Amino acid sequence: ELKVEQNPLFLSMQEGKNYTIYCNYSTTSDRLYWYRQDPGKSLESLFVLLSNGAVKQEGRLMASLDTKARLSTLHITAAVHDLSATYFCAGKRYTGNQFYFGTGTSLTVIP
């Protein structure tokens, strides 16, 4: 089983600030995914990271993957209120179809 841990669980940050969400996983994970969930809504795929050193960016969000450290990060640059949501990372083994989700990070951006 692949265990995925995120921290922090809760994050309150001011608009305009930068911050990083961390996602650690227990064993080799060849695929790492980031999702966003708005309150009362479904999960929406943000990034797919498929190899060591992969970096993906979309707007104020940038995700990276270090398979040797078993760590993925989601960096938020100059946060805006619209980024308030819960962010999940999920790992997936090369073999098999199951996704292993972290507990999620609830992000609140304060004006």
Minimum distance, C-beta of residue 12 to another protein, in the bound complex (Å): 18
66's CB contacts (< 8 A; 6+ apart) are 52, 53, 72
Cα(92)–Cα(2) distance, rounded to whole angstroms? 8
Site string for another protein, 28-57 (x = CB under 8 A): ---x-x-x-----xxxxx--x-x-------
Distance CA 104, CA 42 (A): 13
C-beta atoms surrounding 95 within 10 Å: 7
Q: CB of 30: closest distance to another protein in angstroms?
A: 9
Residue 106, token pair as written in the block: 């609830």
Instruction: Decide whether 46 or 83 has the Cβ nearer to another protein.
Output: 46
**91 part of the interface to another protein, by CB under 8 A:** no
Question: What is the size of the binding site for another protein (CB under 8 A)?
Answer: 19
Q: Is the CB of 97 or the CB of 111 nearer to another protein?
A: 97
